[in-house]
A and B are shown apart, each in its own frame.
Chain A
């Protein structure tokens, strides 16, 4: 059973508009969340993270929102750019003491020029 779910396998957005990528998790022990971006033929690269003590973290065009009661997080990219076209993975980690991240299956974002 998948503990981290990205239910939208793909998303298309017009350049300049907002991209919203969603992620749901089932394990209430998760308290640290990350987003990674992956281009073809490259490994995932870290984008942004959020701890469960926060509900929002912002880094330039990227903002991650965490709703603990709904066990839901989202990544907002605004404005979207064609270079943002990639696969985005959400990952979650339980309380400290483990090296393990649980990843979602990814959402392929296409930003149309």
Chain B
């Protein structure tokens, strides 16, 4: 595998379910990101991890819980989501942080019923 991979690619869940999104980067980067893309809206940064430490948390509701066990893996744990959380969730990585090019995975299309 090369680049940034995300699993699952599609996910349907009920509001009471707990699920996790997984991201893995094979680029040797040390920063990883979660973005949300809703229809007709810009990509919104949710979380940033640098060297496995969370450095940005953009006022994201606590029903979204990130985890970064090492510099290659990033998870987004989902719990009691709302239908308005349905969106494309994109993971990205970069070498370092500020003004470094971010490389994106293909995304997970999430539908909350």
Contacts and interface: CB of A to CB of B under 8 A. Distances in A.
Interface stretch (B63-71, B72-80, B94-102): B94-102
Interface in B27-69: 31, 33, 40-43, 45, 48, 50, 55-56
Interface in A81-101: 89, 91, 93, 96-101
28 contacts: A34-B101, A36-B104, A42-B106, A43-B4, A43-B6, A43-B92, A43-B104, A45-B104, A46-B103, A49-B101, A89-B43, A91-B43, A93-B98, A96-B99, A98-B56, A98-B97, A98-B98, A99-B31, A99-B55, A99-B97, A100-B48, A100-B56, A102-B42, A103-B42, A103-B43, A104-B42, A105-B41, A105-B42
Interface residues of B, number: 26
Contact of B107 (A43, A91, A105): A43
Given A99-B56, A100-B56, A104-B42, A93 B106 contact: no
A53 interface: no
B21 interface: no
Nearest to B90: A43
